[in-house]
Structure 1
Amino acid sequence: MERWKVSQLTKLSSTTDLDTAYRISLSFAKNIGFKFFGFSTSYTSNTERLSAIRLNNYPSDWNAGYEIRKLAGIDPVVAHCFQSTMPILWTEELFDNTRCLWNELEQQGLQHGWSQAIHDEESDLCSILSLARSHCPVSAWELYENLGFSVFIGHHLHKLVALTLPKRLATPPIPELTLREIDVLKLAADGKTAYESARILSLSPRTINFHVQETIRKFGVSNKISAVIAAAKAGYLDRDAHR
Protein backbone atom coordinates (compact mmCIF):
# COMPACT_ATOMS: atom_id res chain seq x y z
CA MET A 1 0.00 0.00 0.00
CA GLU A 2 1.30 3.46 -0.87
CA ARG A 3 2.74 5.44 2.02
CA TRP A 4 0.19 8.27 1.69
CA LYS A 5 -2.68 5.79 2.04
CA VAL A 6 -1.19 4.35 5.20
CA SER A 7 -0.64 7.84 6.57
CA GLN A 8 -4.19 9.06 5.87
CA LEU A 9 -5.91 5.92 7.14
CA THR A 10 -3.78 5.93 10.30
CA LYS A 11 -4.70 9.56 10.87
CA LEU A 12 -8.37 8.76 10.27
CA SER A 13 -8.40 5.84 12.72
CA SER A 14 -7.13 8.08 15.52
CA THR A 15 -9.62 10.86 14.82
CA THR A 16 -12.62 11.16 17.14
CA ASP A 17 -14.08 14.36 15.66
CA LEU A 18 -16.65 13.64 12.95
CA ASP A 19 -15.98 16.76 10.87
CA THR A 20 -12.24 16.10 10.87
CA ALA A 21 -12.79 12.45 9.96
CA TYR A 22 -15.04 13.52 7.08
CA ARG A 23 -12.40 15.92 5.72
CA ILE A 24 -9.75 13.19 5.83
CA SER A 25 -12.12 10.81 4.05
CA LEU A 26 -12.89 13.40 1.37
CA SER A 27 -9.18 13.94 0.78
CA PHE A 28 -8.62 10.21 0.51
CA ALA A 29 -11.46 9.90 -2.02
CA LYS A 30 -9.97 12.64 -4.19
CA ASN A 31 -6.55 11.00 -4.06
CA ILE A 32 -7.95 7.75 -5.47
CA GLY A 33 -9.71 9.54 -8.31
CA PHE A 34 -13.14 10.58 -7.02
CA LYS A 35 -14.20 14.22 -6.95
CA PHE A 36 -17.23 13.59 -4.76
CA PHE A 37 -17.55 11.82 -1.44
CA GLY A 38 -20.75 11.27 0.49
CA PHE A 39 -21.68 9.65 3.76
CA SER A 40 -25.16 9.40 5.23
CA THR A 41 -26.69 7.62 8.19
CA SER A 42 -30.38 6.83 8.59
CA TYR A 43 -32.56 4.98 11.05
CA THR A 44 -33.67 1.75 9.38
CA SER A 45 -37.12 1.97 10.99
CA ASN A 46 -37.79 5.30 9.26
CA THR A 47 -40.04 4.38 6.34
CA GLU A 48 -39.16 7.58 4.48
CA ARG A 49 -35.44 6.86 5.01
CA LEU A 50 -34.71 10.40 6.05
CA SER A 51 -31.07 10.87 6.96
CA ALA A 52 -30.11 11.55 10.55
CA ILE A 53 -26.67 12.63 9.29
CA ARG A 54 -25.62 13.62 5.78
CA LEU A 55 -22.08 14.68 4.91
CA ASN A 56 -20.98 15.26 1.32
CA ASN A 57 -19.43 17.71 -1.11
CA TYR A 58 -22.11 17.22 -3.78
CA PRO A 59 -23.37 20.30 -5.66
CA SER A 60 -25.67 22.39 -3.47
CA ASP A 61 -28.47 22.25 -6.10
CA TRP A 62 -28.41 18.46 -5.96
CA ASN A 63 -28.54 18.37 -2.17
CA ALA A 64 -31.39 20.87 -1.99
CA GLY A 65 -33.50 19.05 -4.57
CA TYR A 66 -32.80 15.65 -3.04
CA GLU A 67 -34.07 16.82 0.34
CA ILE A 68 -37.08 18.84 -0.82
CA ARG A 69 -38.34 16.15 -3.21
CA LYS A 70 -37.50 13.30 -0.80
CA LEU A 71 -35.67 11.44 -3.54
CA ALA A 72 -34.24 8.93 -1.06
CA GLY A 73 -37.62 7.23 -1.27
CA ILE A 74 -37.11 6.36 -4.97
CA ASP A 75 -33.31 6.17 -5.11
CA PRO A 76 -32.34 2.61 -6.20
CA VAL A 77 -28.94 2.98 -4.58
CA VAL A 78 -30.55 3.70 -1.22
CA ALA A 79 -32.98 0.82 -1.70
CA HIS A 80 -30.11 -1.58 -2.39
CA CYS A 81 -28.02 -0.36 0.52
CA PHE A 82 -30.88 -0.74 2.99
CA GLN A 83 -31.14 -4.40 1.94
CA SER A 84 -27.50 -5.37 1.40
CA THR A 85 -23.94 -4.61 2.43
CA MET A 86 -22.64 -5.59 -1.02
CA PRO A 87 -21.19 -2.62 -2.94
CA ILE A 88 -23.21 -1.36 -5.88
CA LEU A 89 -22.08 0.46 -9.01
CA TRP A 90 -24.14 3.39 -10.27
CA THR A 91 -25.21 2.48 -13.79
CA GLU A 92 -27.81 3.74 -16.21
CA GLU A 93 -29.51 0.34 -16.04
CA LEU A 94 -29.82 0.62 -12.25
CA PHE A 95 -31.87 3.80 -12.73
CA ASP A 96 -34.14 2.39 -15.47
CA ASN A 97 -37.24 3.03 -13.36
CA THR A 98 -36.07 6.46 -12.17
CA ARG A 99 -34.79 8.09 -15.33
CA CYS A 100 -35.33 11.57 -13.95
CA LEU A 101 -32.91 10.80 -11.13
CA TRP A 102 -30.27 9.48 -13.53
CA ASN A 103 -30.62 12.56 -15.75
CA GLU A 104 -30.05 14.82 -12.76
CA LEU A 105 -27.00 12.81 -11.70
CA GLU A 106 -25.55 13.33 -15.17
CA GLN A 107 -26.29 17.05 -15.12
CA GLN A 108 -24.54 17.42 -11.78
CA GLY A 109 -21.51 15.31 -12.77
CA LEU A 110 -22.37 12.54 -10.31
CA GLN A 111 -23.26 9.74 -12.70
CA HIS A 112 -20.16 7.55 -12.28
CA GLY A 113 -20.01 6.22 -8.77
CA TRP A 114 -20.56 3.40 -6.32
CA SER A 115 -21.88 2.95 -2.81
CA GLN A 116 -21.24 0.68 0.16
CA ALA A 117 -23.56 0.16 3.15
CA ILE A 118 -22.86 -0.47 6.82
CA HIS A 119 -25.69 -2.11 8.77
CA ASP A 120 -25.90 -1.77 12.54
CA GLU A 121 -28.83 -3.66 14.07
CA GLU A 122 -27.85 -2.71 17.61
CA SER A 123 -28.32 1.01 16.97
CA ASP A 124 -31.02 0.63 14.27
CA LEU A 125 -28.80 2.55 11.83
CA CYS A 126 -27.73 2.12 8.23
CA SER A 127 -24.84 4.17 6.84
CA ILE A 128 -24.07 4.60 3.15
CA LEU A 129 -20.65 5.64 1.84
CA SER A 130 -20.54 6.86 -1.76
CA LEU A 131 -17.79 7.87 -4.19
CA ALA A 132 -18.58 9.63 -7.48
CA ARG A 133 -17.09 11.53 -10.42
CA SER A 134 -17.99 12.72 -13.91
CA HIS A 135 -15.06 11.83 -16.13
CA CYS A 136 -15.21 8.02 -16.52
CA PRO A 137 -17.16 4.94 -15.40
CA VAL A 138 -16.03 2.94 -12.39
CA SER A 139 -14.73 -0.47 -13.38
CA ALA A 140 -15.34 -3.62 -11.38
CA TRP A 141 -11.58 -3.89 -10.84
CA GLU A 142 -11.37 -0.34 -9.47
CA LEU A 143 -14.23 -1.08 -7.10
CA TYR A 144 -12.50 -4.27 -5.94
CA GLU A 145 -9.20 -2.44 -5.49
CA ASN A 146 -10.75 0.24 -3.28
CA LEU A 147 -13.37 -1.80 -1.45
CA GLY A 148 -11.23 -2.45 1.62
CA PHE A 149 -10.52 1.26 2.01
CA SER A 150 -14.19 2.17 1.73
CA VAL A 151 -15.21 -0.43 4.32
CA PHE A 152 -12.56 0.83 6.74
CA ILE A 153 -13.56 4.47 6.26
CA GLY A 154 -17.26 3.67 6.38
CA HIS A 155 -17.08 1.78 9.66
CA HIS A 156 -15.02 4.52 11.31
CA LEU A 157 -17.39 7.28 10.22
CA HIS A 158 -20.38 5.16 11.24
CA LYS A 159 -18.94 4.68 14.71
CA LEU A 160 -18.45 8.44 15.13
CA VAL A 161 -21.96 9.19 13.85
CA ALA A 162 -23.54 6.61 16.17
CA LEU A 163 -21.94 8.34 19.15
CA THR A 164 -23.66 11.63 18.25
CA LEU A 165 -27.18 10.20 17.94
CA PRO A 166 -29.61 9.29 20.71
CA LYS A 167 -29.73 5.62 21.60
CA ARG A 168 -32.78 3.65 20.52
CA LEU A 169 -35.01 3.08 23.50
CA ALA A 170 -35.25 -0.54 24.49
CA THR A 171 -38.67 -2.08 24.02
CA PRO A 172 -40.14 -2.73 27.48
CA PRO A 173 -40.90 -6.40 28.11
CA ILE A 174 -44.52 -7.53 27.87
CA PRO A 175 -45.81 -8.18 31.40
CA GLU A 176 -47.03 -11.63 32.31
CA LEU A 177 -50.78 -11.76 33.00
CA THR A 178 -52.55 -14.53 34.85
CA LEU A 179 -55.32 -16.47 33.16
CA ARG A 180 -57.87 -14.75 35.37
CA GLU A 181 -56.52 -11.29 34.54
CA ILE A 182 -56.80 -12.10 30.82
CA ASP A 183 -60.40 -13.27 31.28
CA VAL A 184 -61.25 -10.07 33.14
CA LEU A 185 -59.72 -7.84 30.46
CA LYS A 186 -61.45 -9.73 27.67
CA LEU A 187 -64.79 -9.12 29.35
CA ALA A 188 -63.88 -5.46 29.91
CA ALA A 189 -63.02 -5.20 26.21
CA ASP A 190 -66.52 -6.52 25.47
CA GLY A 191 -67.96 -3.69 27.54
CA LYS A 192 -68.86 -5.72 30.62
CA THR A 193 -69.04 -3.94 33.96
CA ALA A 194 -67.35 -5.31 37.06
CA TYR A 195 -70.73 -6.60 38.27
CA GLU A 196 -71.44 -8.37 34.96
CA SER A 197 -67.95 -9.84 34.80
CA ALA A 198 -68.29 -11.07 38.37
CA ARG A 199 -71.47 -12.97 37.53
CA ILE A 200 -69.95 -14.51 34.40
CA LEU A 201 -66.79 -15.65 36.19
CA SER A 202 -68.51 -16.54 39.46
CA LEU A 203 -66.42 -14.01 41.36
CA SER A 204 -67.19 -10.95 43.45
CA PRO A 205 -67.06 -7.46 41.92
CA ARG A 206 -64.33 -6.64 44.42
CA THR A 207 -62.19 -9.49 43.05
CA ILE A 208 -62.82 -8.31 39.50
CA ASN A 209 -61.65 -4.81 40.42
CA PHE A 210 -58.58 -6.30 42.11
CA HIS A 211 -57.59 -8.07 38.89
CA VAL A 212 -58.19 -4.91 36.88
CA GLN A 213 -55.93 -2.92 39.22
CA GLU A 214 -53.24 -5.58 38.90
CA THR A 215 -53.26 -5.29 35.11
CA ILE A 216 -53.11 -1.50 35.37
CA ARG A 217 -50.06 -1.85 37.62
CA LYS A 218 -48.36 -4.41 35.38
CA PHE A 219 -48.79 -2.36 32.20
CA GLY A 220 -47.86 0.88 33.93
CA VAL A 221 -51.00 2.65 32.74
CA SER A 222 -53.52 4.83 34.54
CA ASN A 223 -56.94 3.23 34.00
CA LYS A 224 -58.87 0.16 32.86
CA ILE A 225 -59.32 1.34 29.27
CA SER A 226 -55.58 1.84 28.88
CA ALA A 227 -54.97 -1.61 30.34
CA VAL A 228 -57.36 -3.16 27.81
CA ILE A 229 -55.62 -1.33 24.94
CA ALA A 230 -52.19 -2.42 26.19
CA ALA A 231 -53.37 -6.02 26.52
CA ALA A 232 -54.75 -5.94 22.98
CA LYS A 233 -51.46 -4.58 21.60
CA ALA A 234 -49.59 -7.31 23.48
CA GLY A 235 -51.80 -9.93 21.83
CA TYR A 236 -53.53 -11.13 24.98
CA LEU A 237 -57.01 -10.50 23.66
CA ASP A 238 -56.43 -12.30 20.36
CA ARG A 239 -55.56 -15.69 21.79
CA ASP A 240 -56.92 -18.27 24.15
CA ALA A 241 -56.63 -17.53 27.86
CA HIS A 242 -53.16 -19.00 28.27
CA ARG A 243 -49.61 -17.88 27.59
Structure 2
Amino acid sequence: MDRWKDLLLRKLSCEKDLQTAYRLVLNFFNNQGFEYCAFAAYLGSPDKHTSKVNLNNYPYGWDRLYEQNGYASNDPLVAHCNQSPLPILWDETVFAQAPKLWRELNRQGLKYGWTQAVHDEQGAQYSLFSLARTHCPIDIEEHYGNLGYAIFASQRLHALASKKLVDAIEVQPRCHLSPREIEVLRWSAEGKTASEVGRILCLSERTVNFHVCSCMRKLNVSNKISAVAKAAQIHVI
Protein backbone atom coordinates (compact mmCIF):
# COMPACT_ATOMS: atom_id res chain seq x y z
CA MET A 1 0.00 0.00 0.00
CA ASP A 2 1.23 3.51 -0.81
CA ARG A 3 2.47 5.33 2.28
CA TRP A 4 -0.03 8.19 1.89
CA LYS A 5 -2.91 5.71 1.80
CA ASP A 6 -1.71 3.98 4.93
CA LEU A 7 -1.32 7.32 6.74
CA LEU A 8 -4.79 8.56 5.76
CA LEU A 9 -6.50 5.31 6.72
CA ARG A 10 -4.72 5.26 10.07
CA LYS A 11 -5.90 8.82 10.72
CA LEU A 12 -9.42 7.83 9.75
CA SER A 13 -9.43 4.83 12.09
CA CYS A 14 -8.54 7.09 15.03
CA GLU A 15 -10.68 10.13 14.15
CA LYS A 16 -13.59 10.85 16.49
CA ASP A 17 -15.15 13.83 14.68
CA LEU A 18 -17.54 12.96 11.86
CA GLN A 19 -16.88 16.08 9.77
CA THR A 20 -13.11 15.62 9.98
CA ALA A 21 -13.45 11.91 9.16
CA TYR A 22 -15.53 12.77 6.08
CA ARG A 23 -12.88 15.23 4.88
CA LEU A 24 -10.22 12.52 5.23
CA VAL A 25 -12.39 10.13 3.18
CA LEU A 26 -13.04 12.81 0.54
CA ASN A 27 -9.32 13.53 0.27
CA PHE A 28 -8.53 9.84 -0.04
CA PHE A 29 -10.97 9.19 -2.87
CA ASN A 30 -10.17 12.46 -4.66
CA ASN A 31 -6.66 11.05 -4.94
CA GLN A 32 -8.15 7.81 -6.26
CA GLY A 33 -9.79 9.67 -9.14
CA PHE A 34 -13.28 10.37 -7.80
CA GLU A 35 -14.53 13.95 -7.83
CA TYR A 36 -17.53 13.34 -5.60
CA CYS A 37 -18.05 11.53 -2.32
CA ALA A 38 -21.35 11.31 -0.47
CA PHE A 39 -22.29 9.83 2.87
CA ALA A 40 -25.75 9.84 4.42
CA ALA A 41 -26.89 8.11 7.61
CA TYR A 42 -30.50 7.64 8.66
CA LEU A 43 -32.67 6.52 11.54
CA GLY A 44 -35.16 4.55 9.47
CA SER A 45 -35.03 4.23 5.69
CA PRO A 46 -33.94 7.15 3.44
CA ASP A 47 -37.51 7.80 2.26
CA LYS A 48 -39.09 7.50 5.75
CA HIS A 49 -36.35 8.60 8.13
CA THR A 50 -36.84 10.41 11.42
CA SER A 51 -33.31 11.85 11.61
CA LYS A 52 -30.38 11.94 9.24
CA VAL A 53 -26.79 13.03 8.70
CA ASN A 54 -25.89 14.15 5.17
CA LEU A 55 -22.35 14.92 3.99
CA ASN A 56 -21.32 15.36 0.36
CA ASN A 57 -19.55 17.63 -2.09
CA TYR A 58 -22.16 17.22 -4.82
CA PRO A 59 -22.90 20.23 -7.06
CA TYR A 60 -24.62 23.15 -5.36
CA GLY A 61 -28.38 22.71 -5.16
CA TRP A 62 -28.39 18.93 -5.66
CA ASP A 63 -29.59 18.11 -2.14
CA ARG A 64 -32.52 20.52 -2.42
CA LEU A 65 -33.42 19.23 -5.88
CA TYR A 66 -33.35 15.63 -4.62
CA GLU A 67 -35.59 16.45 -1.64
CA GLN A 68 -38.04 18.63 -3.57
CA ASN A 69 -38.62 15.97 -6.22
CA GLY A 70 -38.97 13.17 -3.66
CA TYR A 71 -36.36 11.12 -5.49
CA ALA A 72 -35.64 8.93 -2.44
CA SER A 73 -38.98 7.17 -2.89
CA ASN A 74 -38.09 5.83 -6.35
CA ASP A 75 -34.28 5.94 -6.33
CA PRO A 76 -33.10 2.48 -7.51
CA LEU A 77 -29.87 2.89 -5.54
CA VAL A 78 -31.87 3.35 -2.35
CA ALA A 79 -34.10 0.40 -3.23
CA HIS A 80 -31.10 -1.85 -3.82
CA CYS A 81 -29.29 -0.72 -0.68
CA ASN A 82 -32.42 -1.22 1.43
CA GLN A 83 -32.09 -4.91 0.65
CA SER A 84 -28.36 -5.50 0.25
CA PRO A 85 -24.96 -4.26 1.52
CA LEU A 86 -23.38 -5.20 -1.84
CA PRO A 87 -22.24 -2.25 -3.96
CA ILE A 88 -24.16 -1.23 -7.06
CA LEU A 89 -22.59 0.47 -10.08
CA TRP A 90 -24.56 3.28 -11.68
CA ASP A 91 -25.71 2.90 -15.27
CA GLU A 92 -28.74 3.65 -17.42
CA THR A 93 -30.12 0.13 -16.96
CA VAL A 94 -30.18 0.50 -13.18
CA PHE A 95 -32.20 3.71 -13.57
CA ALA A 96 -34.61 2.29 -16.17
CA GLN A 97 -37.60 2.92 -13.86
CA ALA A 98 -36.32 6.37 -12.83
CA PRO A 99 -35.21 8.05 -16.11
CA LYS A 100 -35.81 11.56 -14.79
CA LEU A 101 -33.41 10.97 -11.90
CA TRP A 102 -30.83 9.47 -14.27
CA ARG A 103 -31.05 12.47 -16.61
CA GLU A 104 -30.68 14.85 -13.67
CA LEU A 105 -27.62 12.98 -12.34
CA ASN A 106 -26.00 13.21 -15.76
CA ARG A 107 -26.89 16.89 -16.11
CA GLN A 108 -25.23 17.59 -12.77
CA GLY A 109 -22.08 15.69 -13.76
CA LEU A 110 -22.84 12.76 -11.44
CA LYS A 111 -22.55 10.26 -14.28
CA TYR A 112 -20.20 7.46 -13.25
CA GLY A 113 -20.31 6.08 -9.74
CA TRP A 114 -21.30 3.41 -7.28
CA THR A 115 -23.20 3.20 -4.02
CA GLN A 116 -23.09 0.79 -1.12
CA ALA A 117 -24.95 0.50 2.17
CA VAL A 118 -24.04 -0.15 5.77
CA HIS A 119 -26.77 -1.82 7.84
CA ASP A 120 -26.90 -2.14 11.61
CA GLU A 121 -27.78 -5.60 12.86
CA GLN A 122 -30.71 -4.05 14.76
CA GLY A 123 -31.92 -2.41 11.56
CA ALA A 124 -32.57 0.99 13.13
CA GLN A 125 -29.65 2.86 11.56
CA TYR A 126 -28.71 2.76 7.94
CA SER A 127 -26.07 4.50 5.80
CA LEU A 128 -25.41 5.08 2.12
CA PHE A 129 -21.92 5.73 0.75
CA SER A 130 -21.37 6.86 -2.84
CA LEU A 131 -18.42 7.74 -5.05
CA ALA A 132 -18.90 9.47 -8.40
CA ARG A 133 -17.19 11.45 -11.14
CA THR A 134 -17.99 13.33 -14.32
CA HIS A 135 -15.76 11.53 -16.82
CA CYS A 136 -14.49 8.00 -17.46
CA PRO A 137 -16.57 4.89 -16.69
CA ILE A 138 -15.58 2.72 -13.73
CA ASP A 139 -14.32 -0.65 -14.90
CA ILE A 140 -14.40 -3.82 -12.80
CA GLU A 141 -10.68 -3.72 -12.02
CA GLU A 142 -10.87 -0.17 -10.65
CA HIS A 143 -14.06 -0.96 -8.78
CA TYR A 144 -12.62 -3.94 -6.95
CA GLY A 145 -9.32 -2.13 -6.45
CA ASN A 146 -11.14 0.54 -4.42
CA LEU A 147 -13.87 -1.59 -2.87
CA GLY A 148 -11.97 -2.53 0.29
CA TYR A 149 -11.11 1.12 0.95
CA ALA A 150 -14.74 2.14 0.37
CA ILE A 151 -16.05 -0.51 2.77
CA PHE A 152 -13.62 0.57 5.47
CA ALA A 153 -14.43 4.26 4.97
CA SER A 154 -18.20 3.74 4.92
CA GLN A 155 -18.16 1.61 8.06
CA ARG A 156 -16.02 4.16 9.92
CA LEU A 157 -18.31 7.03 8.91
CA HIS A 158 -21.35 4.93 9.81
CA ALA A 159 -20.02 4.30 13.32
CA LEU A 160 -19.41 8.01 13.92
CA ALA A 161 -22.76 9.04 12.40
CA SER A 162 -24.65 6.46 14.47
CA LYS A 163 -23.24 7.96 17.66
CA LYS A 164 -24.21 11.45 16.45
CA LEU A 165 -27.77 10.39 15.69
CA VAL A 166 -28.20 8.62 19.03
CA ASP A 167 -26.72 11.56 20.94
CA ALA A 168 -29.08 13.96 19.13
CA ILE A 169 -32.10 11.94 20.19
CA GLU A 170 -30.95 11.70 23.79
CA VAL A 171 -30.51 15.46 24.16
CA GLN A 172 -33.89 16.31 22.63
CA PRO A 173 -36.26 17.69 25.24
CA ARG A 174 -39.13 15.41 26.18
CA CYS A 175 -42.53 16.78 25.37
CA HIS A 176 -45.43 15.68 27.56
CA LEU A 177 -48.39 15.17 25.27
CA SER A 178 -51.54 13.67 26.71
CA PRO A 179 -52.72 10.24 25.45
CA ARG A 180 -55.60 11.97 23.61
CA GLU A 181 -53.22 14.45 21.94
CA ILE A 182 -51.01 11.57 20.81
CA GLU A 183 -54.05 9.79 19.36
CA VAL A 184 -55.03 12.91 17.43
CA LEU A 185 -51.52 13.31 16.03
CA ARG A 186 -51.30 9.65 15.06
CA TRP A 187 -54.47 9.85 13.01
CA SER A 188 -53.37 13.19 11.56
CA ALA A 189 -50.13 11.51 10.49
CA GLU A 190 -52.28 9.05 8.53
CA GLY A 191 -53.66 11.98 6.54
CA LYS A 192 -57.02 12.23 8.32
CA THR A 193 -58.77 15.59 8.50
CA ALA A 194 -60.00 17.02 11.80
CA SER A 195 -63.53 15.94 10.90
CA GLU A 196 -62.40 12.37 10.14
CA VAL A 197 -60.31 12.18 13.33
CA GLY A 198 -63.36 13.37 15.26
CA ARG A 199 -65.53 10.60 13.87
CA ILE A 200 -62.86 7.97 14.62
CA LEU A 201 -62.33 9.15 18.21
CA CYS A 202 -65.95 10.18 18.85
CA LEU A 203 -64.97 13.82 19.33
CA SER A 204 -66.27 17.03 17.83
CA GLU A 205 -64.18 18.66 15.13
CA ARG A 206 -63.73 21.64 17.45
CA THR A 207 -62.28 19.38 20.17
CA VAL A 208 -59.89 17.78 17.69
CA ASN A 209 -58.66 21.21 16.61
CA PHE A 210 -58.26 22.17 20.28
CA HIS A 211 -55.97 19.15 20.79
CA VAL A 212 -54.02 19.97 17.62
CA CYS A 213 -53.45 23.53 18.83
CA SER A 214 -52.33 22.21 22.21
CA CYS A 215 -49.83 19.91 20.46
CA MET A 216 -48.52 22.80 18.36
CA ARG A 217 -47.97 24.88 21.49
CA LYS A 218 -46.20 22.08 23.38
CA LEU A 219 -44.04 21.18 20.39
CA ASN A 220 -43.28 24.82 19.60
CA VAL A 221 -44.37 24.63 15.95
CA SER A 222 -46.73 26.72 13.84
CA ASN A 223 -48.93 24.19 12.04
CA LYS A 224 -50.35 20.67 12.20
CA ILE A 225 -47.94 19.19 9.64
CA SER A 226 -44.96 20.46 11.63
CA ALA A 227 -46.51 19.08 14.83
CA VAL A 228 -46.80 15.62 13.28
CA ALA A 229 -43.23 15.79 11.95
CA LYS A 230 -41.83 16.96 15.30
CA ALA A 231 -43.75 14.29 17.23
CA ALA A 232 -42.34 11.62 14.90
CA GLN A 233 -38.85 13.02 15.20
CA ILE A 234 -38.85 12.78 18.98
CA HIS A 235 -40.57 9.37 18.83
CA VAL A 236 -43.80 10.46 20.51
CA ILE A 237 -45.70 8.87 17.61
**CA shift digits 1:189-215 (9 cap, x unpaired):** xxxxxxxxxxxxxxxxxxxxxxxxxxx
- Aligned residue for 2:67? 67
* TM-score relative to the length of structure 2: 0.67
Whether the 8 Å contact between 2:18 and 2:161 is mirrored in structure 1 is: yes
Per-residue CA deviations over 1:112-166 (Å, capped at 9, x if unaligned) read 0001111003361111110000111111111111110001001110000011112
1:217-228 matches, within 5 Å, as none
What does 1:1-243 correspond to in 2, within 5 Å?
A: 1-44=1-44, 48-49=48-49, 52-122=52-122, 124-166=124-166
TM-aligned CA distance change 1:46 to 1:146, over 3 Å: closer
Q: CA deviation at 1:51?
A: 6.1
- Asked if 2 retains the 8 angstrom alpha-carbon contact of 1:42 and 1:49, the reply is yes
Q: Distance in 1 between matches of 2:9 and 2:57?
A: 20
Task: Letter of the 1:22 partner, please give it.
Answer: Y
Question: 1:50 Cα deviation (Å)?
Answer: 6.8
Q: 1:89 to 1:34 in 2, by over 3 A?
A: same
Unaligned runs of 5+ in 2: 171-237
Q: 1:4 to 1:95 in 2, by over 3 A?
A: same
Identify if the C-alpha distance between structure 1 residues 16 and 127 changes in structure 2 by more than 3 Å, giving closer, same or farther: same
Partner-residue secondary structure (3-state), 1:52: strand
Structure-2 separation of matches of 1:95 and 1:51: 26
Higher relative contact order (CA 8 A, sep 6+): 2
Q: Which runs of 4+ in 1 moved over 6 A?
A: none
Could you say what secondary structure the match of 1:48 adopts? Answer: coil
What is the CA distance between 1:44 and its match in structure 2?
Answer: 3.2
Number of the residue aligned with 1:241: none
- Give the distance between the partners of 1:50 and 1:137, measured in 2 at CA: 35
Query: Which one-letter code corresponds to 1:4 in the other structure?
Result: W
Tell me, which stretches of 5 or more residues in structure 1 are unaligned?
A: 170-243
Q: Calculate the TM-score normalised by the size of structure 1.
A: 0.66
Distance 1:113 1:75 in 2: 14
How far does the alpha carbon of each residue in 1:42-76 deviate from its partner, in whole angstroms, 9 at most, with x for none?
22357535761110000122111001222111110
Amino acid aligned to 1:6: D
Q: How many angstroms does 1:105 deviate by?
A: 0.6
Q: Matched residue pairs, number?
A: 169
- Residue number in structure 1 paired with 2:228: none
The answer to whether the 8 Å contact 1:123/1:162 transfers is: no
Identical-pair percentage: 46
1:3-22 CA distance string (max 9 Å, x none): 11101100111100011001
Deviations 1:77-121 (A, max 9, x none): 111111101110001110111111111111111010001111003
